Amino acid sequence: MQKINTYEYPYHWSLLGFWKKAYEKPLEYFQDNLNEKDIVLDIGCGDGRLTALIAGRVKNVIAVDHQKFPLEMAGVICKHLGIDNIRFEQKDARNLGYKSESFDKVTCFDVIEHLPKEDSEKMIKEITRVLKKDGWLFLTTPNRKELRARIFGHKLIDKHYYEYSVEELKKIFENDFTEIKFIGVAMPLPIPRIEHFANVLPFRWVFNLSIGAGKNYPKLAKTILMVAKRR
């Protein structure tokens, strides 16, 4: 069973300042890999904020989540914004039900950590199955070995089953994927709970700098973006 994000409202659409930049930054790093002919599968789309940003760069997006409520919110928002190339569907990532090699690209933002390892293995098999040969996977997840965890010890939050390191992700995906690349998103500041001040001056400037600082140090960054090509 998945440990889920609770959606009382579409909170990803209301992020501001540092939090908005950090949340949307991974897309900036791989957007050049997207093109107007792509059919994209977005797994674990939640309230659809990143899905909407992807939709403007591709032909069509199938966005799936196992929760009905965020899908309904995402559909209403995207319809209101005139985004008509997204289809939202309630699906189990462990058994997607789509034909093999149906998608040019697959995105999976902060999903794998919400699954027990045996279920994440099933999801990965499904991703590999539905992604076309030479298609690209873009996956993000919190980094178990980020800088602060190395100093103070790793602490798993309640809604996560397991958080991965760069080395672990590479080992998991290297049999079925090639050209695997890791990019870091935000270098964590080694001060407990300082994120409460992320949008407050002068801390805001430091936090904004931390987003770029993590790019070339994925093994220390707070979030890992993995870009990989299916064999």
Please give the Cα distance from 51 to 89 (Å, whole number): 13
- Reported as a single tens digit per residue, the pLDDT across 114-132 is 999 999 999 999 999 999 9
Segments forming the whole domain that contains residue 116: 11-230
CATH classification of the domain holding 164: 3.40.50.150
- The answer to whether residue 2 sits within a structural domain is no
Q: Where are the alpha helices (DSSP H) in 56-202?
A: 68-80, 117-130, 147-152, 166-173
* Position 142 in a domain: yes
Whether the predicted pLDDT of 2 surpasses 70: no
Residue-level pLDDT at 193: 87
Distances (CA, A) of 153 to 146, 150, 207, 210, 223: 10, 6, 21, 20, 16
115 assigned to some structural domain:
yes
pTM of the model: 0.95
60 domain-assigned = yes
Q: How many domains does the chain have?
A: 1
Label residue 1 by pLDDT band (50, 70, 90): low
Token readout for 162 is 């397991």
Asked, for residue 3, whether it belongs to a domain, the answer is no
Q: For residue 4, tell me if it sits in a domain.
A: no
